[in-house]
Amino acid sequence: MSVTIEQAVDDTTTRMNMIQAINSAMDVTMARDPAIVVMGEDVGYFGGVFRATAGLQKKYGKTRVFDTPITECGIIGVAVGMGAYGLRPVPEIQFADYIYPALDQLVSEAARLRYRSGGEFTAPLTVRSPFGGGIFGGQTHSQSPEGIFTHVSGVKTVIPSTPYDAKGLLIAAIEDNDPVIFFEPKRIYNGPFNGHWDRPAENWSKHPGGEVPTGYYKIPLGKANVVRAGEAVTMLAYGTMVHVCAQVVADTGVDAEIVDLRTLVPLDIETIEASVKKTGRCMIVHEATRTSGFGAELAALVQERCFYHLEAPVERVTGFDTPYPHSLEWAYFPGPVRIGQALKKILKD
């Protein structure tokens, strides 16, 4: 795994799952910066429904880690005001499916505050939210709404795929002075998911991305990670789908280059462009619904920038344009079969 460690204070590492890595990121940054506050539904005493904030209230006190009323627009609106005072809030939205009541505060306020005030006020928020499917979450515990936020000027959107990345990216997000939407793929909180739902679940103990520095380090926003170098086709993915793509590549033996985008806005266009110009083929994989999803933006960028290098149409493998179903989850989820067929198609031309 080729990743950059910035400003590592010591080189001690330990095995962590993604929850522990996210918890560690908040712990490490809160210890360094008293302006950081963590807030959200059930994040305080209880430590979060996914345990991401476990122990933080006890360590940092109730004025820095606290439970909130169940009002997403209030959570983000209050965080914007705290940011205007000079704090650095890290609000949690319990599921990305429930971020919509906060859209006005995110889109109209947090995203535009710096621009509209000539830089007088800023919104240095990091909105953490579990997202994505593959857990039988049904319609309102499975959505991938990243495309809504990548469409908004003024916010950054970050999605990690390993515990190592989750910690380094979250620290970078918290320290960034712009509002960041930090989507955590909950399907891979406990282990990498390769899309084979009928096989035993894995945990992070054997994956290189589960080895995480215990101290402070950052992974810069806006930098993709080439998780597998290859020559035949470029696969652009993020979050859970990085692992599904890797498994399909291992299963099929196709010499694909897998690019984990990590940050959707700002996008690492250089890495994408270099990869597609090398391979001549580009496949985009995401769980989110297809129409106007982030894949459409990626496809357009690749077409604009790599047109004369393309040997086949850009392929998109996505969730279907339906609400996320419960019982038909594995028919909906863009798994190994759908990706494998798309690989065959793109390599045929």
User: Of residues 109, 184, 260, 315, which one binds other proteins by CB under 8 A?
Assistant: 109
* 229 φψ region: left (φ > 0), alpha (ψ -120 to 50), beta (else): beta
Q: How far is the CB of 64 from other proteins (least distance, A)?
A: 8
Q: Which of 72, 109, 184, 257 is catalytic?
A: 72
Between 154 and 168, whose beta carbon lies closer to other proteins?
Answer: 154
> With CB under 8 A, what is the number of residues at the site for other proteins?
48
Between 58 and 62, whose beta carbon lies closer to other proteins?
Answer: 62
Contacts of 168 (CB under 8 A, 6+ apart): 3, 5, 6, 25, 217, 218, 219
**Which positions from 123 to 162 touch other proteins by CB under 8 A, shown as an x/- string?**
------------------------------xx-x------
- In the 8-state DSSP scheme, what is residue 63? T
Between 113 and 259, whose beta carbon lies closer to other proteins?
Answer: 113
E strand or H helix at 278: helix 269-279
Between 69 and 253, whose beta carbon lies closer to other proteins?
Answer: 69
Residue recorded with tokens 């402070």: 216
In the range 169-198, which residues lie near other proteins by CB under 8 A? 176-178
Q: Which of 141, 207, 243, 286 is catalytic?
A: 141
Is 6 a residue of the active site?
Answer: no
The answer to whether 170 touches 182, Cβ cutoff 8 Å, is: yes
Which of 85, 112, 229, 103 lies closest to 178, judged by CA?
A: 112
What the block records as the tokens of 108 is 């109209």
User: Of residues 117, 205, 322, 341, which one binds other proteins by CB under 8 A?
Assistant: 117
Is 72 a residue of the active site?
Answer: yes
User: Of residues 21, 25, 87, 169, which one binds other proteins by CB under 8 A?
Assistant: 87
The answer to whether 37 touches 82, Cβ cutoff 8 Å, is: yes
CA angle 26, 115, 167 (to 5 degrees): 15
Between 87 and 256, whose beta carbon lies closer to other proteins?
Answer: 87
Q: How far is the CB of 223 from other proteins (least distance, A)?
A: 12
Q: How far is the CB of 225 from other proteins (least distance, A)?
A: 18
Residue 118 binds other proteins (CB under 8 A):
yes
Residue 271 binds other proteins (CB under 8 A):
no
Question: How many beta carbons lie within 10 A of that of residue 280, not counting itself?
Answer: 18
Q: How far is the CB of 12 from other proteins (least distance, A)?
A: 32
Between 150 and 247, whose beta carbon lies closer to other proteins?
Answer: 150
| d(C-alpha 311, C-alpha 330), whole Å | 31
In the range 9-68, which residues lie near other proteins by CB under 8 A? 37, 63-64, 68
Residue 119 binds other proteins (CB under 8 A):
yes
Between 221 and 343, whose beta carbon lies closer to other proteins?
Answer: 221
Active site residues: 72, 141
Q: Which residues bind other proteins (CB under 8 A)?
A: 37, 63-64, 68-69, 71, 73-74, 76-87, 89, 101, 104-105, 108-109, 112-122, 153-154, 156, 176-178, 222, 265-267, 269
